[in-house]
Structure 1
Amino acid sequence: MSKRASTRGGAARLPAALWPPRLAGPLRVFTPLGRGVLVTGVVATVLAVRFNWHEFALVAAVTYGLLLVAIAWQVLPGEPSANLVLKQTRTVVGAQPVVAVLEVEAGAVPMLFPRVVVPVGTRTVRLRLPFLRPFSRHEESVELPAMPRGVHVVGPVAYERTDPVGLLSRRHTIGGSVDLFVSPQVTDVDVFAGGLANDLDGATSRQLSMSDLAFHALREYVPGDDLRHVHWRSSAKAGQLLVRQFHETRRGHVTVLVDCARSSYPRLRDFELATSVATSIALRSVRDDFDTYLRCGPHVAHSRHPVAMTDAACRFAVEDDDGHLAQAMDAAGAVAGTGLVVQVTGAARAIADLDAAAAQLGRGADWIVVRADSEGKTLVRDSGSLRELSVPDLARLHELMARGMR
């Protein structure tokens, strides 16, 4: 990071409310020094006219001359240009700071040790560049501040054009902007450990079928059964017709629903934990080549690619409206025959609401409820037809998922 760079929450400016409305706009371009010179010139002019003092007339002439030079400097043509490039557009919460490369090309007017402001989300990075001759180029590495999970706009670069004396300063926006994706922290988990089998056709479910790949058992023949599934050797030994029965396989679908209702989370950090939990599960799913549906509020990712999961998780946010049941209904319409459904919620969500959401997608799939509760205890229990896991921190997710899938 440049030694001339500094990070602030916002630009320090004199509030416009301190000035009369008609003067607030024009006086905004004056620096504190410029306002002092202007006041000095006005006072010197009054004194020179009132008392006919030539000394004050000379002071007034000098101040007005400096102001004219400053104004002429501001209206000279030739704006600089800037190009801002991020060395990486995606990062993770808590990772090494992202470095941006800023390339500035001066215009027809030299840049006198210019101040440059790089917006990063709601924060700003300020840096002072060296003197740039007309049409010269300078490249600067800028270390961006650590940002929370989300999608943050970096840029456009703002350049403060100041005259040699420093009386006037105008801000010009140069260059474009780029999005920085900060994804949640994740951990590696074995989602299907001891539970779902990952094969060429998908994950086995608890539903029984008369035609599939995962063999379950033999049963007596009933009229209407396909004779191709008769196990003749066992039938000969038993003295009656026996047919094969199979586990119905799901075609590699995993659905992860994140509860976005603010009322479900007693603490806001629990929602961040829920986002990390859901993203960890979704990433494990896509790495196992399962078609994954990840949703939180209006933000949906339906893919087999990890980047789609992390990019969607960057945009997750809590909402005042409770739309968890509606999201489950939408997921049921978007995903048919899912093999595993994971509901990630907070400690305050009622189990009846979760059971109602489970009913929307059918009972053929395996169901797991993961509660993100930073002040709770590690817990695995069965609540009716749902298996419920309570996760106090991300480090315990691997162990709990392995226990919950058995």
Structure 2
Amino acid sequence: MTTTAPSAEGVAPADGVPPRRARERRPSRVRAADRRRRRSRGPASRRPLRGPLLLLSALGRAIWAAAGPVLTTISLLGWVVLVAAVGSLVAGLLLGWQELVFLGCTLAAGLVVATFFLIGRSDYDVAIELTPHRVVAGDRARGRLVVTGRKRRSAPTRVELPVGGGLAEFVIPGVAAGQEHEELFAVPTNRRAVIIAGPAVSVRGDQLGLVRRVLRLTDRVELFVHPVTTRLDSSVAGLVRDLEGETSKKITNNDISFHALRAYEPGDDRRYVHWRTSARTGQLMVRQFEETRRSQLAIVLATDRRYYASEDEFELAVSVAASLGAQVIRDGTRLDVVTEAFPLRTRSVTALLDDSCRIEPTDTGLSARDSVREATKRLAKPSVVMVVGGSLFGVGDFRAIEVLYGLDTQTIGFRVDPGEPSRMMSVSGLEILSVATLSELPRLVRRVT
């Protein structure tokens, strides 16, 4: 009986063919390399076609780059007429129907005539002017389209100007060199928004709409429709102790701004004993200081649509948050204004109101506490947090937000509810203001601060 020496993998080969178990024990990196080689080789029939395919692809891109601008001038109706013309001519010639040949010739002639309407150059400059660029919701805003001729008299053309969700069309007559032609239009500002005017485009084409050439003339211009706000009284809310802050009238035992001396009381820190005065009077005297404070206020506007009963309620909430933020900025207090979607700029009142125009209802799916935590996790710890929500923003939601911050942070809730009278209520130290109208906000804020 002849024995065979074991292979390197510990399994004896039979008839020179390794068993299946031996093949399965090959290292995984070797098997992966084999698969990559097989994929890279591919079928032999594909390799000769790679060169011609690349050539055809490059040729197609070159043809489209040259013919694309011409083909895109044909509208959908123009393509239908072109297909109908070709189909009628072919069918008429094959079937011997003169009527179809006549129809095809008529349709083709219509396309040829339509192309003559594309001839001409727009030799003029166009500018869009909005007056003013920032308005309050409900105020009037007007726009002006100014067309100025260049070197030669331009041919009459039609100019389209998108304004918000609408489209304004102007028929511009021929304008001589250096001459100006203006068109006035009104901008709807009944709702807070950022209204985009432009870009203005010149449109050339036939009256049937078979061909159409569009040339962009201007960039977009933004009109900011600010929310309605109300002026509030200056407030000192949101102050926390800070040696680099402003001096207040509150007297404290330890700070940096000296105020006066008083008699020593048990428990006073001996570091603040004024020994020279104590030796002169024969009684221990300690220093008193004026407390220095700084302010760090955060306004959180809940934008989740499940907290609001109507669109008007949401707009009132935006107005309340904008009014609070604008007054805090005027007072020179450091401020952060955030929503679930994005933080608002607070370097100036104008920047804050501009960003408030972009606030829209959202669908976060998070709880009020989680939403506020995500929105304020990168902010400095505030001394006062003002939370603005709708009528469906419950007391439990305000309480859940209050828990996020320590005892040094005061939480004030503003619940917008046009269906209820304006009032203030306190729930375990948490102040909640119910705001029915924007005009009631100053009175409610005075009661809190």
Amino acid at match of 2:272: L
What residue in structure 2 maps to residue 87 of structure 1? 131
Structure 2 Cα separation of the partners of residues 27 and 314 of structure 1: 37
Amino acid at match of 1:294: V
Structure 1 Cα separation of the partners of residues 145 and 139 of structure 2: 19
User: Whose RCO is larger (CA < 8 A, sep 6+)?
Assistant: 1
1:199-250 deviation per Cα after TM superposition (whole angstroms, max 9, x unaligned): x9448699966215597997825364532679969x969x55455265451x
Relative to structure 1, is the Cα distance of residues 216 and 286 closer, same or farther in structure 2, using a 3 angstrom cutoff? farther
1:111 counterpart SS class: coil
Structure 1 Cα separation of the partners of residues 275 and 440 of structure 2: 47
Q: Does structure 2 retain, via aligned residues, the 8 Å contact 1:202–1:253?
A: no
Structure 2 Cα separation of the partners of residues 359 and 314 of structure 1: 31
Confirm whether residue 74 of structure 1 aligns to residue 141 of structure 2.
no
TM-score, normalised via structure 2 length: 0.66
What residue in structure 1 maps to residue 288 of structure 2? 244
Amino acid at match of 1:260: T
1:334 counterpart SS class: coil
Q: How does 1:349-388 map to 2 (within 5 A)?
A: 349-388=393-432
Amino acid at match of 1:190: D
What residue in structure 2 maps to residue 102 of structure 1? 146
Q: Does structure 1 retain, via aligned residues, the 8 Å contact 2:238–2:295?
A: no
Q: Does structure 2 retain, via aligned residues, the 8 Å contact 1:297–1:316?
A: no
Pick aligned residue for 1:344 from 365, 369, 388: 388
Pick aligned residue for 2:272 from 227, 233, 252: 227
Percent of aligned pairs with the same amino acid: 20
Pick aligned residue for 2:352 from 297, 309, 315: 309
Confirm whether residue 158 of structure 1 aligns to residue 201 of structure 2.
yes
Pick aligned residue for 2:161 from 118, 126, 129: 118
Structure 1 Cα separation of the partners of residues 169 and 260 of structure 2: 67
Pick aligned residue for 2:380 from 325, 331, 335: 335
1:187 counterpart SS class: coil
Q: Does structure 2 retain, via aligned residues, the 8 Å contact 1:77–1:109?
A: no
Confirm whether residue 279 of structure 1 aligns to residue 315 of structure 2.
no
Confirm whether residue 189 of structure 1 aligns to residue 232 of structure 2.
yes
Q: Does structure 2 retain, via aligned residues, the 8 Å contact 1:90–1:183?
A: yes
Q: Does structure 2 retain, via aligned residues, the 8 Å contact 1:86–1:99?
A: yes
TM-score, normalised via structure 1 length: 0.72
Structure 1 Cα separation of the partners of residues 349 and 159 of structure 2: 36
Confirm whether residue 400 of structure 1 aligns to residue 444 of structure 2.
yes
Structure 2 Cα separation of the partners of residues 313 and 342 of structure 1: 16
Q: Does structure 1 retain, via aligned residues, the 8 Å contact 2:123–2:149?
A: no
Computed over aligned residues only, the root mean square deviation of the Cα atoms, in angstroms, reads 4.6
Give the drift of 1:95.
1.4
Relative to structure 1, is the Cα distance of residues 24 and 287 closer, same or farther in structure 2, using a 3 angstrom cutoff? closer
Give structure 2 stretches of 5+ with no counterpart.
1-70
Structure 2 Cα separation of the partners of residues 372 and 229 of structure 1: 54
Give structure 1 stretches of 5+ with no counterpart.
1-22
Q: Does structure 2 retain, via aligned residues, the 8 Å contact 1:106–1:135?
A: yes
Amino acid at match of 1:393: T
1:342-364 deviation per Cα after TM superposition (whole angstroms, max 9, x unaligned): 11112222323323323434322
Structure 1 Cα separation of the partners of residues 276 and 362 of structure 2: 56
1:401 counterpart SS class: helix
